[in-house]
Structure 1
C-alpha cells in the first residue's frame, strides 16, 4: 500500500482489545523508525519510554487520572504504549555524543566537515536558545516529527495507534524521574489492535478539501 493510501486509511483508535498483542518484532520495527526519524540538524533531542507489561502501562496510566481519565482505558488496554519525551536542555554533553556518533558512522570526509557540522548545529541551538528564546519548543517540535514517523509506520505494519496529549506530563515526569535524566513528557502513543467497540473505526475520515489547505506557486 502506498503512503497516501496508508494516510487515508489510518485513524485514531478509541478503544483497544486487551486480549490482542502486537508481536515484539513489529514493535522493534517501530522503535527503529523512531530512532531514524528526522530532526533539525540531526539534533535528536528525544527519548522514548516503552511500556509492554501491565505494570509498565499502569505506571504510564498514572498520567491519565482526574481530568484525563477518559484516556486511561486506551493506555491499559493497548498492547504497548510509548511515551515520547523531549530533552529539557540541549547540553554540550548531548551535542558531543551526537557528533561522535556521526563521526563513528562515517558522515565526515575530513576534520573540516566535522567542524562544519558542529558549528551549524551549535548555531541553530544558540539561535533558539538566545535569540528566539524557544529552545524547549524547538526540541518538542522534533519529538513531533518522531510521532508522525511512528504513526505512519504503525499504519504500514497494520498496527492501530492513538496519539494522546490528554495526560498530565508533570505526573509522568515525576513517576519516571524524567527531569532528573534531562527529559520531559511530550505525547503518549497507544499501540495495539482495535476493539469491536471502537466507534471511530466505522466513521468516515474527514479532512478539509485540498484547495483549502494547499497553495501551488
Structure 2
C-alpha cells in the first residue's frame, strides 16, 4: 500500500481486541523499522521499552493510573506496548558508541571522513547544549521522528496503534528505572488489533485543507 493511502487510513485506536496477539515475526519487522528511524546528524538519542506479556503491560499501565486512567485499558488490552524514551543527556559514551557503529558499518572511507562526522555531530549537540540551551527538547524531537516511523510502520503491517502522552512520566520512569539508566519516557504506543467497539474506527478522518497548510512559492 502506498504511504499516502496508509496516512489516510491509519488512525488512533481507542479500544483493542484483547484476544488477538500480533505475531512475533510482525513485531520483529516493526522493531527493525523503528531502529532505522531517521534522526538529526544520526544522533539516535533514544531507547525503546517493549512489553509483550501481561506482566510487562501491567508495569507500563502503572503510569496510567489516577488522572490518566482513561488510557489504562488501551495499554492492558493491546497486544504489545512500546515506551519511547529519550536520553537525559548526550553523553560522551553515546557519542563514541554512535561513531564506532558508523565506522563498523563502513560509513567512513578515510580517517578524515570519520573525524568530520564526529565534529559535525558535536557541533549540533553543542549548539543545542550551550547556545540554544534546548538540548533535551532537541533530543525529544528526534524521538518523535521515531514515533512517526513507528506509526506508519505499524499501518504498513496491518496493525492498529495508539500514541499516548497521557501518562505520569515520573511514575513510569520510576517503575522502569529509566532515569538511573539515563533515559526518560516520552510517549507510549499501544499496538494490536482494534475492537469492534472502537468508535474511532467508524469516524471519518479530519485534517485541515491543503490550502490551509501549504504555501507554494
Whether these two folds match at TM > 0.5 is yes
- Corresponding residue of 2:182: 182
Secondary structure at 2:63 match in 1: coil
**Aligned-residue offset at 1:51:** 0.3
**Aligned-residue offset at 1:34:** 1.1
Q: Counterparts of 1:215 and 1:199 in 2: how far apart (Å)?
A: 34
**Aligned-residue offset at 1:173:** 0.6
Q: Counterparts of 2:30 and 2:214 in 1: how far apart (Å)?
A: 30
- Corresponding residue of 1:15: 15
Equivalent residues in 2 for 1:22-101 (5 A)?
A: 22-101=22-101
- TM-score, length-normalised on structure 1? 0.99
Q: Which runs of 5+ in 1 are unaligned?
A: none
Q: Counterparts of 2:192 and 2:103 in 1: how far apart (Å)?
A: 37
Q: Which runs of 5+ in 2 are unaligned?
A: none
**Aligned-residue offset at 1:215:** 1.0
2:203 is the counterpart of 1:208: no
**Aligned-residue offset at 1:14:** 0.2
RMSD (Å) for aligned C-alpha atoms: 0.4
Q: Which aligned runs of 4 or more in structure 1 are off by greater than 6 angstroms? A: none
Q: Counterparts of 1:188 and 1:153 in 2: how far apart (Å)?
A: 16
**Aligned-residue offset at 1:157:** 0.4
**Aligned-residue offset at 1:216:** 1.1
Q: Counterparts of 1:125 and 1:115 in 2: how far apart (Å)?
A: 15
**Aligned-residue offset at 1:105:** 0.3
- Corresponding residue of 1:154: 154
Q: Counterparts of 1:31 and 1:172 in 2: how far apart (Å)?
A: 21
- TM-score, length-normalised on structure 2? 0.99
2:193 is the counterpart of 1:172: no
Secondary structure at 2:64 match in 1: coil
